[in-house]
Amino acid sequence: MKVISVKLDEETIELLDRYAEKYGLSRSDVIREAIRRIIKNSREDERPKSMMTYKTVKIYT
């Protein structure tokens, strides 16, 4: 497996740690499964809002 680095805020780390401890998993296990679920459950033409780009459209009347 390859190693990647991810920046997380304190609140997310706390949530991650609580979830991992509750289910006896490592942080990496939780993150891997979360990524798999997001990708599996999303449509190809759908992007999370935080990844969307916006266009400015001019309307002439």
Q: How far apart are CA 13 and CA 24, in angstroms?
A: 16
In a domain, 54, yes or no: no
In a domain, 55, yes or no: no
The total number of structural domains that make up the chain: 1
| pLDDT score of 45 more than 90 | no
Helix ranges, the chain (H): 10-23, 27-41
Domain boundaries, position 26: 1-44
| pLDDT score of 60 more than 70 | no
pLDDT in tens, 10-26: 999 999 999 999 999 99
Per residue in 16-52, is it b (16+ CB within 10 Å) or e — as a string?
A: beeebeeeeeeeeebbeeeeeeeeeeeeeeeeeeeee
Q: pTM here? A: 0.66
In a domain, 50, yes or no: no
Quick check: 34 and 24 in contact, CB under 8 A? no
